[in-house]
Amino acid sequence: MSACGPFELPDPSRAIWAQRQKLSDNLDRIKEADEILKEVMGGPKDFPRQQWTQFVSLILEFQPDLIIELGRGWGNSTCAFSLAAEWLQDVNCKILSLCLSDAWQTKTYPRLLESFSRHDIFRRVEAMIADIRTFDFTKHLAGRRRVFVFWDVHGWDVAEAILTNLLSRLKDVAHLVVIHDMADASHMAPDCLVGDEAAWLALGSAMPKFRFGSMCSQYEEGILLEDFATRNQINLRSAESSYFVNLTPAQVQILTSLFGPTYFSQYGFWYFFSAYRPQAQLQFRVSRLLDGLEAADTGASQPEPVSSKSGPKTLRARLRAFVKPMERR
Ligand SMILES: C[S@@+](CC[C@H](N)C(=O)[O-])C[C@H]1O[C@@H](n2cnc3c(N)ncnc32)[C@H](O)[C@@H]1O
C-alpha cells in the first residue's frame, strides 16, 4: 500500500522528493504532452507548468484507485493524471473526467492520438461531457478505496454541488481533494499582497479575488470551502505551506536542477484537504452562511425585511459585501 499508510494526508514536498527519480526519468514524456497541449491551446493556459511534476508526484505517493477530475477544459490535468496513473505500480487507477466542454473530444485527444508517443495511457480515462451540478457519482464510487479529487471548476452552484453530492459520499472513503486556483498569502511577495496583478502573473497565477486570513482564492468556491472547513474543523493546507516549509535549500536546488525552473517551483497555487471522517457527523450543506443571509433577504427572521429584493442576486451581493475582495491598485 501507499507510503502514506492506511490514511494520512500526504505531504506534497515529501512526495516530490520521494518521486524525483521517477519524474526525472520520465520528464521527456511530461514535456512532450505539455508541448502538444500548448500547440492545441495556442500557448500555455489553465495550468501553471510546475503542476505537472507536483500533481504526478502527489498521485504517485497517494496511490488512488480513482481520480475524479472536476473541470477538464483543454485537458492539461487530464494528461498529467493519465501519466501518473500509468506510472502507478500495483494499483489499477481509473480517471473519471467531467466537464461541460467538448474540447478534449474534438481537439486535444485527436491531436494526442496523432502525435503523442504513449497515447495508450488514455485508455484509463472516462471523459464525459456532463454537468457536475447534477451528476450522480454513486456507481463510479462503488468499491473504490482511495480517491483523488481534482476541483478545477468554478462558482457557487457547482461548489455547493461538489460538497453535497460528492464529498458527502466520500466521507467514508479515504480521499484527497486538491482545489485549484488558490494561493497562500504567507508565502507571496509583498507586491502580490498589495494587489499588483503583474507580480502574480510573474509567479504563474492570476490575482485572487478573495482573501480570508492567508488563504487567497480566485473564485467564489473559496468562500464556501472556508465556511465548510471551519464548520467541520477540516484542515485546509496550501501547496506552498509544504514546498516552502518542508524542503531544505539543498533539496530545492536539486529539484530545480533536475526539472528546471519551468517544471519545478515552490509555488503551487492549490490547496488540499480531506473530509475522510468515517466516524464523524459532518455538515455538507452550505446552510449556515447562506440560510442566515436568505432569512435576512426574505425577512423570515426580521420584523422588517432588510431589502425588498430577494433571491440569489441579493444573496450574492450580500456575500460580496461580506467578503472584502482584494484591493486592486
Ligand atoms: C479551468 S477549466 C479546467 C481546466 C483543466 N483542469 C486543465 O487543466 O486544463 C474549467 C472547466 O470547467 C467547466 N465547467 C464549468 N461549469 C461546469 C459544470 N457545471 N459542470 C461541468 N463542467 C463545468 C468549463 O467548461 C471549463 O472547461
Concatenated DSSP letters for 131-152?
-TTT---HHHHTT-SEEEEEE-
Which of 40, 50, 83, 99 is the best mutation target for the ligand 1 pocket, counting ligand atoms within 8 Å of the beta carbon and taking the most? 99
**pLDDT range class, residue 317, cuts 50, 70, 90:** low
Angle between helices 27-41 and 51-62 (to 10 degrees): 130
| pLDDT for 119 beyond 90 | no
Residue for grid cell 426580521: 302
Q: Which of 1-15, 129-143, 246-260 has the lowest mean pLDDT?
A: 1-15
Name the pTM for this structure: 0.89
* β-pairing verdict for 215-217 and 210-212: antiparallel
Cα distances from 253 to residues 198, 236, 269, in angstroms, run 26, 28, 20
Q: Which of 161-175, 196-210, 230-244 has the lowest mean pLDDT?
A: 196-210
Cα distances from 307 to residues 8, 33, 292, 316, 324, in angstroms, run 47, 53, 14, 13, 21
Concatenated DSSP letters for 157-189?
HHHHHIIIIIIHHHTTSEEEEEEESEEEGGGS-
Cα distances from 43 to residues 86, 118, 221, 230, 247, in angstroms, run 26, 22, 27, 38, 31
Distance (Å, rounded) from C-alpha 103 to C-alpha 40? 10
| Angle in degrees, CA 12, 14, 16, rounded to 5 | 70
Identify the pLDDT of residue 298.
61
If one compares 173 and 315, the residue with the highest pLDDT of the two is 173
Distance (Å, rounded) from C-alpha 33 to C-alpha 113? 11
If one compares 43 and 69, the residue with the highest pLDDT of the two is 69
Q: Which ranges of 10-50 would DSSP assign to H, the alpha helix?
A: 12-18, 20-25, 27-41
Q: Which residues line ligand 1 (CB under 6 A)?
A: 46-47, 71-77, 98-101, 131-133, 152-153, 158
Q: Nearest CA to 270 among 12, 3, 2, 9? A: 12
Q: What is the pLDDT of residues 263-312, one digit of tens each?
A: 999 999 999 999 999 988 998 887 556 666 666 556 554 433 333 334 44
Distance (Å, rounded) from C-alpha 20 to C-alpha 215? 28
Domains, the chain, in order of start with CATH, read 12-284 (3.40.50.150)
Element containing residue 98 per DSSP (H, E): strand 94-99
Mean pLDDT of all residues in 105-133: 95
Nearest CA to ligand 1 atom 21: 99
Nearest CA to ligand 1 atom 15: 153
Which of 38, 55, 72 is the best mutation target for the ligand 1 pocket, counting ligand atoms within 8 Å of the beta carbon and taking the most? 72
Mean pLDDT of all residues in 155-162: 93
| pLDDT for 124 beyond 90 | yes
The alpha carbon of 100 and the centre of ligand 1 are apart by a number of angstroms equal to 7
